[in-house]
Chain A
Amino acid sequence: MTRIGSFARIASVALAIAVMAAPGFAATGTANFKTLVAVGDSYGAGFESNSLNVHHSIYSWPAILARQVGLSICTVGSSATDNCFAQPIVSFPGIGPELQLMDISTYPPVITNAAGSGAPLNTTFGRPFNNVAIPGANVADTFTVTGTDATPARGVQQLAKFILRGPVTEVDAVLLQKPTFIAIWIGGNDFLGSATNGTVAGLTSVADFTTAYNLMLDKLSVSGAGMVVGTLPSNPAAVPFFNTVPTVLINPATRTPVLGPTGQPITLVGQVDGTPPVGQLLKGSFVTLPAGSLIGQGFGIPSALKPILDPTNKLPFFGTPLPDSVILTPAEQATLTQRISDYNAVIVAAAAKRNIPVADIKGLFDRFAAGISVGPFRLTSDYITGGIFSLDGVHLSDIGYTLFANEYIKAINSGYGTHIPVASVSAFMQNNDPATKMASGAAAYPGMMWILSDEASKGLLQMFSATITAPPATRRHVVH
């Protein structure tokens, strides 16, 4: 027994060394998670369904990573001396109105903003937060935007104020903590704002991205901490904001395409690549979520169909082309995808130069697009029903962030020779966790303009093509 006991002790010590302080086999620094910190954006903050609140920030990917390496997450009652992973804590229903699915028995299903408002609860926490991810931040923002900036450029600073809590940037706040490990996912906002507005204008140039990404890593490297970064998703088809609304007119009652006089689906009208710049949407175009409410008012439906589809003038914008802002044309996608590929090459090169492992987030989203199986469950990138994305169509669900965090764990294990267990989605089995229920809301958060408005959500759902059985609508749009 004694021998077994001492063997067990030796084994457990060896395991602890392996997990907590293994020398990097390939990577620079070590995988010591005593002071784990995270640099990032809305994904890092655990933003979901248009809201930052404590129900979901505890499932931000950095928080999930922290738990898997054995750290607890600080609570409102935690003190600065507690060895816990600190994040901003915003009371439910959050900053940003959390979108809630209220009713699927009616058609269309009803999504509303949660009522009420949330507020930051731990603004006086006595040390910088371990997780300083700021919704809306891009790469350059991590070392330029401070918590005391007076003139917000894109709304980022409103949240920066209570996340950074002083005249420091994300990078500064991280370095102040003498971190032992830095987990980084940043770059999404260098293209996302453009993409969700159906344009390629405003994309960060590759040169600027290269400079900013390397500068950020150089600044963080001063700490000597181990690091991990991740690539960026480049496939709009993996994201409900782009993959939900079809390019053809859909009959809300049957959720199948309306057939025109020739028996073919009716392609919507809007921006195209070429001259004239407006026409039937090109094959392969993406129509964004907010277009749902526009189509419901007649936008994008060919005017020639008005006598048949809207003889009583119920749709005020019938025949008006969809605005450019809700369409990603094939040419725009090509530009976007190429740009993101370039960013990813920059990330991979910058990481390789510094021996930093890279989480394959691009690959993860490509798998989202195809659908993935986890244990007995199937997950897809379908809006509302897929399980991976939240109701804003861009940010992940608790389940989605878990899969995201696992890509980081795999990269760390591979780069540092650690054996951190991946996080399990079984935490989200309702019958194991019956208390989970979303509720109430807050005033709209103006900083995230690309996020679906409540009105847009409702309109979108008229186009919603999920396979949920719902009562048929009374009005039919079939053309004979």
Chain B
Amino acid sequence: MRSFNKIGLLVSAALLVVSSTAFGAGFGLFEQGAKATAMGGAFAATADDPSAIFYNVAGIAQQHRMTVIAGGTGINFSNQFTGDPTDAFTSGATGHYVRHTFVPPNFYAVIPIGTNLTAGIGVFTPFGLRTNWQDPWIGRFVSRDANIKTISVEPAIAWQTSDGRLAIGAGAEYRRARVVLARNSTLPPGTVNVNPFAVRFIDVASAYLSSDWDHAWGWNAGVLFKPSPTWRIGASYRAPMDINFTGDVTITQISTGNAQLDALIKPGLPPSQPVTTTINFPSIANIGIATTAIPNWDLEFDVVHTGWSRFQQLKVDFLTTPAAGFTRVQNWKNVNSYRFGANHPVNAAWDVRFGLLYDKTPQPTVNVSPLLPDSDREGASFGVGWHNGPWIVDATEFALHFKTRGTMGISSADNNFNGTYRTDANLVSLNLGYRF
């Protein structure tokens, strides 16, 4: 009973510390445990700690002691937008995100039931996005701030054969999410193009869209197979999910400094009103192969396939004045990331770990924008594990480089914002665990 109370407390704490990051291929977050992150996320065929609930749920079947781990990943960005020197709007412009450390939390517990069955519960943050541009930001007509927060709770169960060679598992994922979007509006095309008194471009309004916390249910399943004492194969699938959001948009007129002009603009602004939108979250399928053929080394290679082609658009419907609604075409593609990880026990208490990854972007060049400037990523990680008696500590440093991404002068008509995005991220993951 005492243990379950502790778990309940940790779950509550994790739910309060909700993540918000601009990170993971597209806005996926694959850093849901310090050990797996240290191995570059190549963990489907290892899955030997409670974070298996995220990486390959079948893996909890091989864990025969009740274990609780909790932690998070601190993410810091260093980014810069540089305008296209051939573009008469963005030339010479720069911008970057507001400095902020994002800490997506995680919590997992596994509870063996008999010898072949293990139950577990996980709390993690499979998706997240925050692109909050520092003012003054000339891309504010496309996006000033975009924030997608998620938090998932997943009860899971897994079973393995008595010889331990085959395990299967499944879980039900309850995902809560919220969306915040903010941008400014200028004069609509086709009427008055500028403030005619000063012949200057003007911001006429800000739009702040904030959804409620809405939710959906999904599922995932995994399998882990050990064909020989030194080889393991793991595969996992997390189902796609659509979350329908309701919320409100607040439209605030920005004074042009001229009362007459403000009075002319005012009737043309849509009122603050209820809105709806839907985010189509992708499926995630990963398959990994691992070996201990080299003594004292555990090596794994994974391919993670994310079904981002479901993310075709971000469409916001305005319920009072439908004409004011907008659609941002995304047209993302399904992509693979390639992950390699190594775990090397140094002695009974210490492990050292390394990882490498290459993560393809799902985003077409034409749709790269301040809302979410994605790109291919290359990452390298290093971590240590310490275990002494019931205690487990995993710590990881992970450097992620986003390849320089330019719009090549073909930014889509609804953005028309050309330039180059440079991004690097540094992640520090820490998990504390207790084995009962």
Contacts and interface: CB of A to CB of B under 8 A. Distances in A.
A25 interface: no
B419 to A, nearest CB: 10
B260 A105 contact: yes
Contacts of A379: 193
A374 B86 CA distance: 12
Q: How large is the interface on B (under 10, 10 to 19, 20 to 34, 35 or more residues)?
A: 35 or more
Interface stretch (B21-29, B43-51, B90-98): B90-98
A377 B89 contact: yes
A434 B200 CA distance: 10
Given A385-B196, A398-B199, A430-B195, A105 B89 contact: no
A377 B86 CA distance: 16
A375 B197 contact: no
Nearest to A469: B264
B335 interface: no
B197 A438 contact: yes
A377 B201 contact: yes
A377 B187 CA distance: 8
Contact of A438 (B141, B194, B198): B198
A255 interface: no
A333 interface: no
A436 interface: yes
Contacts of B194: 377, 385-387, 397, 399
Contacts of A421: 85-86, 91-92
A376 B143 CA distance: 12
Given A387-B199, A436-B200, A467-B192, A375 B260 contact: no
Contact of A386 (B85, B186, B193): B193
Interface in B131-161: 136, 138, 141-142
A104 B91 contact: no
Interface string B264-277: 10010000000000
B193 A378 contact: yes
Nearest to B416: A375
Nearest to B260: A105
B193 A424 contact: no
A384 B193 CA distance: 9
Contacts of A386: 193-194
Interface in B242-260: 254, 256-257, 260
Contact of A390 (B92, B199, B263): B199
B261 interface: yes
B88 A403 contact: yes
Given A377-B201, A426-B90, A466 B192 contact: yes
B162 interface: no
B40 interface: no
B191 interface: yes
A390 B196 CA distance: 9
B134 to A, nearest CB: 14
Given A104-B264, A431-B254, A438-B198, A422 B88 contact: yes
A218 interface: no
A244 interface: no
Interface in A99-122: 100-101, 103-105
A66 B88 CA distance: 16
Interface in B67-123: 83, 85-93
Contacts of B200: 428-430, 433, 436
Contacts of B192: 385, 466-468
A262 interface: no
B351 interface: no
A434 B86 contact: no
A423 interface: yes
B201 A425 contact: yes
Interface string B195-213: 1111111110000000000
Contacts of B195: 430
Nearest to B265: A469
A373 interface: yes
A406 interface: yes
B417 interface: yes
A397 B261 CA distance: 19
B197 A424 contact: no
Given A373-B416, A378-B190, A467-B192, A424 B92 contact: yes
B229 interface: no
Interface in A237-259: none
Nearest to B415: A376
Interface in A398-422: 398-399, 402-403, 406, 419, 421-422
A430 B141 contact: no
Contact of B198 (A104, A378, A380, A430): A430
Interface in A250-274: none
Interface string A62-106: 000000000000000000000000000000000000001101110
Q: Taking each of B138, B190, B196, B256, which has the highest tally of chain A beta carbons within 10 Å of its own beta carbon?
A: B196
A346 to B, nearest CB: 29
Nearest to A373: B416
Q: Taking each of B141, B201, B263, which has the highest tally of chain A beta carbons within 10 Å of its own beta carbon?
A: B201
Contacts of B416: 373, 375-376
B295 interface: no
Contact of A425 (B89, B189, B190, B260): B89
A375 B90 contact: yes
Nearest to B202: A430
A467 B93 contact: no
Interface string A362-386: 0000000000011111111010111
A436 B194 CA distance: 13
Contacts of B136: 431-432
Nearest to B138: A426
A379 B190 CA distance: 9
A3 interface: no
A480 interface: no
B318 to A, nearest CB: 19
Given A378-B190, A385-B193, A429-B200, A419 B85 contact: yes
A294 to B, nearest CB: 24
20 contacts: A104-B260, A374-B88, A375-B90, A376-B89, A376-B417, A377-B193, A387-B194, A397-B199, A399-B201, A424-B87, A424-B91, A424-B92, A428-B201, A429-B138, A429-B201, A430-B202, A431-B202, A436-B200, A437-B198, A468-B196
9 nearest CB pairs, A to B: A375-B89, A421-B85, A378-B189, A430-B200, A376-B141, A387-B194, A387-B193, A385-B192, A105-B260
